Amino acid sequence: MMPRSDPPLFAFLRRLLSPARTAPENAHPVAPETQGEMACVPSAAGRLSPPRSVGEAGLALIKRFEGCARLRPDGMIAAYPDPGTGGAPWTIGWGATGRDDSTGETIGPDTLWTQAQCDDRLLADLQRHAAEVAAAIGDAPTSQAQFDALVSFHYNTGAIARATLTARHRAGDFAAAAGEFARWNRAGGRVMKGLVRRRAAEAELYMSGSA
């Protein structure tokens, strides 16, 4: 029997996971990357059909700001506390929170994963968040850069379904939508410098695809 290959999205993302890990909350803003392989295409009605998968620019932005930190001397990766609360929700790998798939328990201070577990969880989480963004924006004309920025925003906030940003995008008011990113800069009631940088990078990527 031939070995089963990864689905196209997973294979694409696995290739992009090869760069070295970075620490979370990188101090430098992210410049927009070139658009990914999966750009949107005209639909039968002549409108842009929204992407359904995150591209290279989106993955690069998410990896830059999430990082894959807390590498231990034994090669395992440890969870770290939320920077806003100093505790829950605990995060591990590329920004994974919530349920530990290997144990069924909530990710906490004692959670340890291998690099492969971190990478696999990122792939699964990106697929889920991209699907949720696609559902939220519906058939609104959307470039790959805009979609990538929205996925990064949703991956970090989980707010794509309720954010005014989404309504502005669906209405085609891209300048107003870009201005909404900066409002999501708090954690634990405090403005976080890392979130300010991330929102600015997402808005810049978003606007790079709105011309």
Boundaries of every domain in the chain: 49-208
Instruction: Tell the residue number behind the tokens 């994963």, with chain if given.
Output: 113
Residue 38 has pLDDT above 70, yes or no: no
Judged on CB neighbours under 10 Å (0-12, 13-18, 19+), 81 is middle
pLDDT of residue 118: 97
Confidence of residue 26 (pLDDT cuts 50, 70, 90): very low
- Dihedral sign, Cα of residue 177, residue 183, residue 188, residue 191: positive
pLDDT digit string, tens, across residues 95-129: 999 999 889 999 999 999 999 999 999 999 999 99
Catalytic residue, chosen from 66, 180, 202, 204, is: 66
What is the value of pTM for the model shown?
Answer: 0.76
How many residues in the chain?
211
Percent of the chain with pLDDT over 90: 69
Tokens coding 98: 């919530």
Residue 56: active-site member: no
Average pLDDT, the chain: 83
pLDDT of residue 48: 58
Distance CA 75, CA 14 (A): 20
Tokens coding 179: 């201005």
| Between 33 and 122, the higher pLDDT residue | 122
We find that the CATH architecture of domain 49-208 is Orthogonal Bundle (1.10)
Report the pLDDT averaged over residues 47-61. 86
pLDDT digit string, tens, across residues 134-170: 999 999 999 999 999 999 999 999 999 999 999 999 9
pLDDT of residue 69: 85
